C-alpha cells in the first residue's frame, strides 16, 4: 500500500506543477524549477595509463583527458531526472 501512496503523491505533485507552469506560460511568466537527478554510472571499459592498474603512470589518452590521468573509464548513466523523467545517457 505504501507504493500506491507514494505514486499518488508523485502524480499529484506533477499535476500541480504542470498546472502552475501552464498558468504561468499563459500569463507570460516563467517558473524556475529545481532539477533533481538520481543516476547510476555503469562502467563498460577502463583503459589504464600503464601496463597494470595503479602503476603510477599517467596519460591524457590522446587528448580525451584535459590533465594527465591514471585511467579512462567509459560507460553510460541511467536514472531519473525530475521533472523530465527517466533517461539513459551514453558517454
- Whether residues 44 and 74 share a domain: the answer is yes
> What is the pTM assigned to this prediction?
0.48
From residue 85, how far is each of 28, 37, 65, 80 by CA, in Å? 25, 9, 30, 6
Q: Which residues span the domain enclosing 54?
A: 34-91
Based on the structure, what is the number of domains in the chain? Answer: 2
Same domain for 27 and 1: yes
Annotate the chain with three-state secondary structure. CHHHHHHHHHHHHHHHHHHHHHHHHHCCCCCCCCCEEEEEEEEEEEEECCCCCCCCCCECCCCCCCCCECEEEEEEEEEEEECCEEEEEEC
Distance (Å, rounded) from C-alpha 16 to C-alpha 63?
47
The model's pLDDT over 34-91, given as tens digits with 9 standing for 90+, comes to: 888 888 889 999 999 988 888 889 999 999 999 999 999 999 888 888 877 777 777 4
Q: Are residues 28 and 38 in the same domain?
A: no
pLDDT of residue 59: 94
Q: Are residues 28 and 46 in the same domain?
A: no
Q: Which of 9, 3, 77, 71 is nearest to 39 (CA)?
A: 77
Amino acid at each position: 500500500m505504501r507504493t500506491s501512496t507514494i505514486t499518488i503523491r508523485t502524480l499529484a505533485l506533477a499535476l500541480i506543477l504542470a498546472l502552475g507552469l501552464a498558468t504561468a506560460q499563459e500569463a507570460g511568466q516563467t517558473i524556475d524549477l529545481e532539477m533533481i537527478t538520481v543516476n547510476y554510472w555503469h562502467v563498460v571499459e577502463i583503459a589504464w595509463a600503464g601496463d597494470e592498474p595503479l602503476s603510477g603512470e599517467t596519460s591524457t589518452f590522446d587528448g580525451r583527458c584535459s590533465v594527465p590521468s591514471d585511467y579512462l573509464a567509459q560507460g553510460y548513466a541511467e536514472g531519473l531526472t525530475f521533472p523530465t523523467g527517466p533517461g539513459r545517457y551514453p558517454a
